[in-house]
Amino acid sequence: MLGPEGMRASMATRTTNPKKTTSKTAQSQSASKSASKSASKPAAKTASAKKGSPSDDELISSLRQYVRVRGPHLLEDPNITSVGVGRKVTGDQPGGEVALQFTVATKAEPEALESLGTSLIPASITVDGVEVPTDVIERTYKPSFHMVAEVESPLRKSRLDPIRPGASVGAVTVSAGTIGCVVFDRADGTPYVLSNWHVLHGPFGELGIEVVQPGTRDDNRIDRNRMGVLKRSHLGVAGDCAVATIEDRNSLPEILELDVAPRTLGEPELGDKVVKSGRSTGVTHGIVRRVDTVAKIDYGGVTGVQTIGCFEIGPDPAHPSADGEVSSGGDSGAVWMFKEGDDRVSTVLAGLHFAGEGTGEPDEHALACLSTSVFEKLDITLSQPAPEQLEIIAGYDADFLGERVETPELDTDLTRDAALLDGSPVIPYTHFSLTLSKKRRFPFWVAWNVDGGSLKKLSRSGIPFVKDPRLPGTAQVGNELYQANRLDRGHIARRADLLWGSLPEARKANTDSFFYTNITPQMDDFNQSSKNGVWGALEDAVFADVDVDDLKISVFGGPVFQDDDRVYRDVPVAREFYKVIVFTQNGELRARAFLLTQNLDQLEALELDEFRVFQVTLGEVEDRTRVRFPAALHKGDTLRVPEAAADRTPLETTSDIEWG
């Protein structure tokens, strides 16, 4: 299936070709009973009355509200396919009078209405005290699923990297539609392609279904053409719309052959000129002929008839297409762009194409979802948010490894020292969480997840260390401790561990890692001096030496606070740090704990050069920190160590670590 234009539709929009007219009388049209009831109310004035009559803009505004409220009820009449706001057509000439326009599946004489299960559409309907004429046209609609002789450039049906709007796309269970534009998740900035529900989801799809570019109609090599997966979709009054991820390929926002990228959303008005670039018909031009429309579209099968909010577009006689088609099967998902007064394509997006005329109908027209409704429903935006503008993504994930591993808890007396955020001691960031000591102004613990299968390499250049504005500044140690000495601002949750997921998500984690709540003072050669960098290489070592399930680990770490920690610039500086690495191997949860000792006796002289890393038990970490880990981790901690501390030897290299 190429798109909703190939599906039969009964719809509430009317499009009129300036060169084609449809004659009718009110007596030969079918109507819903609700429309008849509305018309039976006394009218205070007619829309055509000169004195006291509303302007076109005022009348259209009233009619828009009427269609939004009453439209779905009017569509309950089985013969009415759409209702919308347009201009009345009389004889062979399009009229200038604003009208409430109905389309019907079948025109009939009054005596035949009962057999159709329908009622007479009145000549006028009173809306907000104004008598508004009706206009009735025989017309049905269908989505773009049917196959047609295609005139598109081969480029549109080819596998593209970078991906471009205007090219073929589809779920693996759908034949082909069109990429409308590149959009971004409003919350985390993930890039998606926008198209229709019936292109990326379809009646046999579900969230997570694979999406290919080009669609299977154009190239059935699914493995080669995999683009991503269906992320979100909607089919209903808000539109026929969906987004899919872009994986292992780049993308460009400029639409094929239009060479513009949508930058803002607009709302169509009667007479607006628009243009689209679709998979099947390429670039076609149109004129908005009806706005604020609701239509009945038959998607067939279990999906059946759906009511879709939209507007209608007819051909632009100043720019006729080669074959007279403003849209055809496979164009579904293309975006309609507004045109400037000088006929140039603007960067303002008018709507998302999803349907056209029914089979055999002489009038050429297209239907498009309102862009504002689509973007709101799918929670997307045209501009990728900067990292600092993204919403905070949920912090440490307790279910990350499959078996739930909760965050640590503090001894009772330490709990009173925990800084609170919205009443909770657990403070979330992107991919990590922590609990902060108000007294020491450093974290008791930091917990983070590492997805080794989607790690990104991002620069740290230009990212400032900052205090978390959600917490009191007095509860955090800032840059005043690190000036004019060899103390480094050391990350507890290692920056490189956090850079996974989508690129925007990784960028956000990169920025979040520089909050001072995740920072403790360490010597400038901390990692390099810790016995060939063992401390800084623990996470890498588990991936290198252990067959970790799903390439995922969780890590806990922090400073060891002691009463005799050396005070430097009025700040007690921890001389020990701990780290606990958690992973699953063959479905079994395992935990391994490590302790690093810093001798800070010579801090003032800044001559410290000895760090020693020991592999310890989880219980030993708890004894030193009074941070309590969940029972699941104790079960997974099977390390056996000598009873005498003197018999412990520090780790010389990562090969000394006992993982299994």
Contacts of 342 (CB under 8 A, 6+ apart): none
Where are the strands (E) in 299-442, listed by range? 305-315, 335-339, 345-357, 366-370, 380-381, 409-410, 427-429, 432-436
Preceding amide of 54 cis, omega within 30: no
Q: With CA atoms as reference, report the closest residue to 610 among 491, 539, 525.
A: 525
Sign of CA dihedral 438, 442, 447, 449: positive
Contacts of 413 (CB under 8 A, 6+ apart): none
Sign of CA dihedral 481, 486, 489, 491: negative
Q: Which helix (H) or strand (E) holds 170?
A: strand 168-171
> Binding residue per annotation — 527?
yes
- Between CA 11 and CA 103 the distance in angstroms is 7
Q: With CA atoms as reference, report the closest residue to 103 among 125, 127, 73, 77.
A: 77
Residue type, 151: V
- Between CA 24 and CA 133 the distance in angstroms is 13
Tokens standing for 370?
A: 């309102």
Tokens standing for 264?
A: 């803002």
Contacts of 197 (CB under 8 A, 6+ apart): 233, 234, 235, 240, 241, 242
- Between CA 484 and CA 4 the distance in angstroms is 67
DSSP 8-state symbol, 424: B
491 is catalytic: yes
- Between CA 9 and CA 3 the distance in angstroms is 12
Q: Which of 201, 319, 491, 634 is catalytic?
A: 491
Contacts of 541 (CB under 8 A, 6+ apart): 654, 657
Looking at the annotation, which residues are catalytic? 491
Which residues carry a binding-site annotation for Mg(2+)? 527
Which residues carry a binding-site annotation? 527
